[in-house]
Amino acid sequence: MQFWTFFFLILTFGIYIYIAWRSRVKETKEFYVASQGVPTLYNGMAVAADWMSAASFIGMAGMIAFLGSDGSVYLMGWTGGYVLLALLLAPYLRKWGKFTVPEFVGDRYSDTVRVVAAICAIVVSFTYVVGQMTGGGVVFARFLGLSAEWAVVVAAAVIFFYAVLGGMKGITYTQVAQYIVLIIAYLIPAVAVSQAVGGFPVPQVTYGTILAELDALRVQFGLHEFTDAFAGRPGGQLDVFLVTASLMLGTAGLPHVIIRFYTTKTVRGARFSAFWALFFISLLYLTAPAVGAFTNLNLLRTAQNATADDLPGWIQPWADAGYVTLNSTDGVIETVSNSAASGADLIVSNDILVLASPEISGLPAPIVGLMAAGGMAAALSTAAGLLLVISSAASHDIYYRMISKEKASEKTQMLVGRLAMTGAVIVAIFAGLNPPAFVAQVVAFAFGLAASTFFPILILGIFWKKANAKGAAAGMLTGLIFSASYMIYTLEIFGTSANEHIFNVSPEGIGTIGAVVNFAVTMIVSSLTRPPSAEVQEMVEEIRYPQTRKVTTGV
């Protein structure tokens, strides 16, 4: 198996690095927006790869496997948010025609708000990239036999190389290749497992035939039924709603996805990129629930007849990597969980279930190796886009616009951007070694922060002419501080201890409330202070039209 893992990883990494080298850039417009010349179909693939991070490839089906139907909050939230982005934001921001989200915010409100937006972009992107480092570490730790520490370092090194070298141009075409790799790596094992589990090669069809057996097995091993609604989250129905809404609003406000629509040639191209991206995304998202159910079923089937002295062959390698724990004292596996706090006999991390699915199902070694390459493609594609956001926020929005007062040369801007990437990678390595939660949950925190900061400001900036700089700055800072404080309060991060959820609201769902707070503060402060100038209000009016209006004058 290790031979095939090495084969696929070396092959795919070679392709990515070759593309990055051929696409290396020297100008800031190529570095940030690929000279706005990316064809629509390719941009749709790149958006899909940027979108489907390690959380989608590794984490989402793993969360569904243990949470059951409540795991669909990730599926609904991320997909619904994409629709919001495609309809409400992407075409208008592309018509504005600038490089970054903070640049739009700065032009729409003020330079002060630009700095606030740049800081928020760095915080959101950094939180997101930690999840990708964690996902890359899972792949390398198991399939290459590396320690968790070295696994994260190796993943970070590869990400850093082609992100720094090629900028947006290199990342875009690398992400096209990565999408092809990840979707093949996801669908082939899914079809093979579907055939093995239900005798039919269409996962979405087989999925419905195994739920009764899966429900019975889950109850036997101390888990709630897979189909039992609102049983997978302690906060119940309210928290399911809040998490779904937070993921939707955060998706529509993610800087690294929005910037993708700046790379198309026209506003029409941005709209069609959204269509193609949704199609490419759906290929994985419509398969993920079935993958989660199949993996959970196979896991429980193997545990049903196993003892501590007679474990299936796939368990020990994952246990050596630190992602499976056996606590049984009498040698019998009676309970299974994904939480160490549960005291279950067998504890399995959510983050390994998709990657381990071919092994659990007894599929051939080449498929196992292909799955590893797909997992790395998902982690690398998103991490590179996130690092580019951090780079552009630091070099373009803060250094070029605010510190050098637009006097810095392109060479200096590129240097600052690459130094910012370097710093972000180094810090993300340390955070990736001690993540506060599973991959999908860490990513959900980033979406919550994006929902609390960017979504309200972008929506009001486009559709409410009276939103002003003071309101926007107050709203973004309030939303960021509110949501980040709650996450720190309820999670074990920065040396803090975890506390009970207030009103059963999880840290993944706090972004919805943060967005409401942001909306309220921005609108109240804007209403109590001087409105924007007539020129800004006219500019806002202009961007709401897909094509530039012709202004006629009388003679």
* Residue pLDDT, tens place only, 105-117: 988 999 899 999 9
Residue 330 domain-assigned?
A: no
Percentage of the chain modeled with pLDDT above 90: 30
Number of structural domains, the chain?
Answer: 1
Contact 257, 85 (CB under 8 A): yes
Taking the CA atoms of 450, 456, 457 and 462 in sequence, report the sign of the dihedral they define. Answer: positive
550 belongs to a structural domain: no
Per-position DSSP letters for 225-242, written without gaps between them:
-TT-TT-SSTTHHHHHHH
| CATH code (residue 16) | 1.20.1730.10
Burial of 58 (0-12, 13-18, 19+ CB in 10 A): buried
The residue type at 34: A
- Is residue 332 assigned to a domain? no
Contact 252, 455 (CB under 8 A): yes
Give the phi and the psi of residue 301 in degrees, each rounded to 5.
-65, -45
Judged against a pLDDT cut of 50, whether residue 549 lies above it is answered with no
Q: For 263-280, what is the mean pLDDT?
A: 78
Residue 476 contacts residue 449 (beta carbons within 8 Å): no
Tell whether 549 is covered by a domain.
no
323 found inside a domain: no
Q: How confident is the model at residue 30 (pLDDT cuts 50, 70, 90)?
A: low
In a domain, 505, yes or no: no
Per-residue pLDDT tens over the stretch 156-170: 787 777 666 655 666
Q: Which long-range contacts (CB under 8 A, 24 or more apart) does 309-313 make?
A: 312/360, 313/359
In a domain, 492, yes or no: no
pLDDT reading at 459 higher than 70: yes
Residue 548 confidence class, pLDDT cut points 50, 70, 90: very low
Query: Can you read off the two tokens belonging to residue 79?
Result: 């997909």
The whole domain housing 14 covers 2-29+37-209+228-295+362-435
Decide if 23 is inside a domain. yes
Q: Is the pTM of this model over 0.75?
A: yes
